[in-house]
């Protein structure tokens, strides 16, 4: 059975889709059978995989509405991973699912049909905490959270962690934090270094060792419809995602599903402008969320 990983962060522009696409390609290069599910109505993961989202029918919308079998909508990519494409029709699917029974479990039920065909299933979530994201979190074994090491990137982290906790208690008790991934990292940026250090201090081994650097070639690759592994495999971005794939595989092998799932506390709110910078501190025991 595949390990299902939702790549999620309600804040846009943190490298979520870039991570989903390039991690899928790197895992496929490591001889893993990978399915990437584009659950974002923007369809960026579909386009970055070399598939025209406007021609991607049937796609995620038709699958979620059970108009076609999921196997009929999955397409291969040049990077050797499979893709369930997404586009703006997913918004219509979300609206139609609002009145459906067990609507949060629809994606989980669909992925169960093809899970045995893959080692890893990655879900690129929308940059919001909506029904599509809830479907992804309900279906997932783990949540991979890209975090940009800049001031405002920390704002949505608390809300996402609260949502993960709520989904764990109500819908998916085995849901885990796969890891926090530092993205668009610039070692010359003092704030980035400070935020990175505070993330590690607060979340410990939940912060992945892999760090995705700010890289021009990585930013260019989606416009060519290619993962960085195909666009420029010698670039720093490509090397970083190969390292991330290796770390994900090692964590998966070391994972014992009998271990209890523990909540991780969200960081304290970032200070107002004029303060010394964002500080992540564990809340006191009597803190009320």
Per-residue confidence (pLDDT) for residue 191, from 0 to 100:
79
Q: How far apart are CA 122 and CA 135, in angstroms?
A: 13
Per-residue confidence (pLDDT) for residue 262, from 0 to 100:
58
Q: Where are the domains of the chain?
A: 3-254
Q: pLDDT tens digit string along 166-178?
A: 999 999 999 999 9
Per-residue confidence (pLDDT) for residue 286, from 0 to 100:
42
Per-residue confidence (pLDDT) for residue 169, from 0 to 100:
94
Per-residue confidence (pLDDT) for residue 186, from 0 to 100:
83
Write the burial class of residue 112 (CB in 10 Å: 0-12 exposed, 13-18 middle, 19+ buried): middle
- Assigned token pair, 87: 């586009």
Residues of the chain with pLDDT below 70 are 153-156, 256-289
Query: Considering only the top CATH level, what class is 3-254?
Result: alpha beta
Q: pLDDT tens digit string along 219-273?
A: 999 999 999 999 999 999 999 999 999 999 998 888 755 455 556 666 554 444 4
Global pTM?
0.87
Per-residue confidence (pLDDT) for residue 266, from 0 to 100:
62
């Amino acid at each position: 059975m595949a390990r299902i990983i939702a790549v999620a962060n309600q804040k846009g522009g943190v490298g979520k889709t870039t991570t989903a696409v390039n991690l899928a390609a790197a895992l496929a290069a490591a001889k893993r059978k990978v399915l990437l599910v584009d659950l974002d109505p923007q369809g960026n993961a579909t386009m970055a995989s070399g598939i025209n989202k406007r021609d991607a029918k049937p796609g995620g919308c038709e699958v979620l509405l059970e108009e076609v079998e999921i196997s009929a909508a999955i397409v291969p990519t040049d990077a050797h991973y499979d893709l369930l494409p997404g586009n703006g029709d997913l918004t219509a699917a979300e609206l139609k699912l609002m009145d459906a029974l067990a609507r949060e479990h629809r994606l989980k039920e669909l992925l169960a049909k093809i899970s045995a065909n893959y080692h890893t299933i990655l879900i690129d979530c929308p940059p919001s905490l909506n029904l599509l994201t809830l479907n992804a979190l309900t279906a997932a074994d783990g949540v991979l959270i890209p975090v940009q090491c800049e001031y405002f990137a920390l704002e949505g982290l608390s809300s996402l962690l609260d949502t993960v906790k709520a989904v764990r208690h109500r819908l998916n008790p085995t849901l885990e934090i796969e890891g926090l991934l530092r993205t668009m990292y610039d070692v010359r940026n003092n704030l980035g270094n400070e935020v990175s250090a505070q993330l590690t201090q607060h979340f410990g081994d939940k912060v992945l060792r892999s760090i995705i650097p700010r890289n021009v070639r990585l930013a260019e690759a989606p416009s060519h419809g290619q993962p960085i592994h195909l666009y420029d495999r010698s670039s720093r971005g490509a090397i970083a995602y190969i390292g991330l794939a290796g770390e994900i595989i090692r964590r998966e092998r070391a994972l014992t599903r009998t271990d209890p799932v523990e909540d991780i506390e969200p960081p304290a709110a970032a200070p107002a402008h004029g303060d010394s910078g964002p500080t992540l501190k564990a809340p006191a025991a009597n803190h009320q969320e």
